[in-house]
Amino acid sequence: MSTIQDVARHAGVSVSTVSNVLNGRAERMRKETLERVQSAIRELKFQPNRLAQQLKTGQTSLLGLLVPSMTNPMYGFMAREIEKFAQEMGGLRLLIGSTYRDREKESAFFDDLLAHGVRRVIVISSLADERHFETAVGNGMSVVSYDRGATPGRRSRVAHVMPDNQLAAQLATRHLIEHGHARLAFTTVAGLTMSRSAKIQGFTAAAEHARVHGEVLDGGPLNEYGETVIAQVGRATAHQIARMRERPTGVVALNDLMAMGLMAGLRECGLAVPQDVSVVGIDGMPVAGLTNPALTTVCLPVREMAQAMVARALNRERGRKDVVFAPSLLRRESVAAPPTRQRSARVPRAEELLS
């Protein structure tokens, strides 16, 4: 690896001239000098040491990305879009980390980013407490938080980008109602993040508005493996649903992964989707279109949100710091009219289940 010194020597100029070339201050020198430096750079295959640049300038070409878990395909999907925009808009690489929605892990990651000189972070999270973000901003970071709004009343220096989660749940719920469903459920996991609360509100509001029965089913906690387990929770919730005397005929799932778990679980109990139970997801992640039946879901505009997040992380779009994006319903096959009578189900015992 050659250094700026090598280039300077090779071109017969001083390091500052080379530095000027590197930093686009070519107008300060003779064309001839510029060319000499450029060819020296080429010949030596010189790549400026980012570490040294960063130490000097305090600016990294790295973008921190915190996701709850890389095992939920939705976050892989989002990471991909974010990566693309980060490259295109700012030449930034991704320093990624999983938080499993754990405050400790999230803080530790922030500390590491700071120590690495990373000044821009996108956090896909939704922990209620945002104070460590503010601390980070205080340390000069540009923080973008996904999936939760600013705490009302306190003005925040953190940018917020999110889908309208309440609307998402409403769209899903209304879709079921339009198909004639009158006994609805919203399935979630333990723990109220902001996005989960918003979805529950949307669901409840839509059900109440149509004067239809709507209940919230909490499938319990996620373990350290985080998001994969969300599908397992969905499966368990399906068993719970199958056991109910007055079974809901339409279910809105917290997200697509949970919906997939739900569908698998319902099937295990001998219940058909959508003939016995209709299911709607929220997310619109690509793999969810491959299920049988194909999952009807509320799509989030991932590309647009990713672009907005990167723009804010780069401190473009100074004006409107917070943005909410509208989701849209994607009709596929997992919703139909409710059954005329409730079919009896059979919940398998643990040992009968496939892994």
Partner DNA sequence: ATGAAAGCGCTAACAT
Partner DNA sequence: ATGTTAGCGCTTTCAT
Q: Which residues of the chain form contacts with DNA (CB under 7 A)?
A: 1, 3-5, 12-17, 19-20, 22-23, 28-30, 32-33, 46, 48-49, 52-53, 55-57
d(CA 226, CA 91): 31
Among 5, 14, 23, 47, contact with a second copy (rule: CB under 8 A): 47
Residue 291 binds to a second copy (criterion: CB under 8 A): yes
SS3 130: coil
- Listed ranges 33-41, 109-117, 147-155, 205-213: which one lies at the site for a second copy (CB under 8 A): 109-117
Per DSSP, the chain holds a count of helices (H) and strands (E) of 12, 12
| Least Cβ distance, residue 198 to a second copy (angstroms) | 25
Q: Using CB under 8 A as the criterion, what x/- string covers residues 172-211 for binding a second copy? A: ----------------------------------------
Dig out the tokens for 183 from the structure: 């006994």
Which is closer to DNA, CB of 117 or CB of 301?
117
Residues 6+ apart with CB under 8 A from 153: none
Say if residues 204 and 175 touch (Cβ distance below 8 Å): no
**328-330 and 296-299 strand pairing:** antiparallel
* Residue 330 partner contact from DNA, a second copy, none using kind-dependent CB cut-offs of 5 to 8 Å: a second copy
| Least Cβ distance, residue 226 to a second copy (angstroms) | 9
Count of CB atoms situated within 10 Å of the CB of 215: 15
Count CA atoms within 13 Å of residue 308 on its CB side: 20
Residue 354 binds to a second copy (criterion: CB under 8 A): yes
| Least Cβ distance, residue 229 to DNA (angstroms) | 39
* Residue 97 partner contact from a second copy, DNA, none using kind-dependent CB cut-offs of 5 to 8 Å: a second copy
Which is closer to a second copy, CB of 24 or CB of 91?
91
Element (H, E) at 35: helix 31-43
| Least Cβ distance, residue 113 to a second copy (angstroms) | 8
Among 12, 23, 25, 55, contact with a second copy (rule: CB under 8 A): 55
Q: What is the CA radius of gyration of the chain?
A: 26
Which is closer to DNA, CB of 58 or CB of 180?
58
d(CA 242, CA 252): 15
> Of 305, 223, 219, 300, whose CA–CA distance to 262 is shortest?
219
Longest dimension (CA), the chain: 89
* Residue 28 partner contact from a second copy, DNA, none using kind-dependent CB cut-offs of 5 to 8 Å: DNA
Among 3, 22, 44, 76, contact with a second copy (rule: CB under 8 A): 76
Residue 68 binds to a second copy (criterion: CB under 8 A): no
